[in-house]
Amino acid sequence: MILEDISLKLQAGRAKDVKALVQQAIDEGIPAEQILDEGLVAGMNVIGEKFKNNEVFVPEVLVAARAMNMGAQILKPLLVAEGVKASGKVCIGTVQGDLHDIGKNLVKMMMEGKGLEVIDLGTDVSPDTFVETAKNEGCQIIACSALLTTTMGVMADVVKAAEAAGIRDKVKIMIGGAPVTDEYCQKIGADAYTPDAASAADKALEFCKAMGA
Ligand code: B1M
């Protein structure tokens, strides 16, 4: 079945094959949403689970994500035409003072794999930038990544900035990165800590659904 082939080629990181198979599936008349859900997202979900269980590692995730992006690019105009709505909007960034972005990029990719629209603010992102973006773009979620013990404190400032801007009840603040813990999340009053990219994407989707996005 062609959708399973798409999933398998995506898991193997074969971007060109994925692209060709997605085009073939479109030509065969399979709806774009079905190609996305049962081909691309299904494959990315397998990779996400394997990554969580240490069965595959960063390089495999990155090539799979690249294959996913190539396939999704072909589907994008059709999905818009068919009226498929993104299931929620997230702004993500690595916090001010911190330039590590590999983990953040993985979280972004996994979230996109779940059908969420993700605004990538990059690295060294100030609390005000997170909050202004969430406010202006109508994001349900602010997602902050930090890899340094010296920068994770900025996450507390993001929570405070959201309170000061009057949007704390409209936005969920998710945090993660190697030095971050669930205990820290509770201490600063953020909404969720997740240890890896796959569980961050699961949690973000859960929040968006609960918020009726
Ligand atoms: Co830096 N670095 N680094 N570094 N670096 C660490 C983090 C460090 C632990 C190395 C060490 O000393 N053992 C250490 C931090 C010590 C500490 O604070 N406790 C460190 C240091 C000290 C520094 C510098 C200060 C070094 C210096 O200049 N003296 C400097 C700081 C620069 C800055 O940011 N201002 C620095 C610089 C760099 C490089 C530029 C060379 C490079 C970054 C390149 C890049 O990102 N583009 C780098 C790297 C690569 C690392 C290590 C080796 C690897 C980090 C990484 O990408 N891991 C790292 C040592 C290590 O971790 N073993 C280290 C892979 C990635 C997939 O994991 O980002 O943890 P991670 O993401 C995971 C989860 O954490 C989670 O999901 C991801 C995948 O499952 N996750 C989230 C991440 N964000 C999330 C958000 C979520 C949910 C989950 O919700 C929103």
Ligand 1: nearest atom to the Cα of 123: 34
Beta carbons within 8 Å of 91's beta carbon, 6+ residues apart: 118, 119, 121, 130, 133, 134, 137, 139, 141, 142, 143
- Measured CA to CA, the distance from residue 114 to residue 125 in angstroms comes to 24
Q: Which of 90, 89, 94 is nearest to 125 (CA)?
A: 94
- Measured CA to CA, the distance from residue 71 to residue 31 in angstroms comes to 14
Using the mean position of ligand 1's atoms as its centre, give its distance from the Cα of residue 77 in Å: 36
* pLDDT score recorded for residue 197: 84
Question: Which residue has tokens 């798409």?
Answer: 6
Question: Which residue has tokens 């999905």?
Answer: 79
Give the chain's domains with CATH numbers. Answer: 2-81 (1.10.1240.10), 89-210 (3.40.50.280)
Q: Is the CB of 143 under 6 A from ligand 1?
A: yes
**By the 8 A CB rule, do 24 and 53 touch?**
no
Q: Whose CA is nearest to atom 46 of ligand 1?
A: 100
Beta carbons within 8 Å of 188's beta carbon, 6+ residues apart: 155, 156, 159, 175
* pLDDT score recorded for residue 82: 59
pLDDT in tens, 172-197: 999 999 999 999 999 999 999 999 88
What residues of the chain score a pLDDT lower than 70? 80-86
* pLDDT score recorded for residue 85: 64
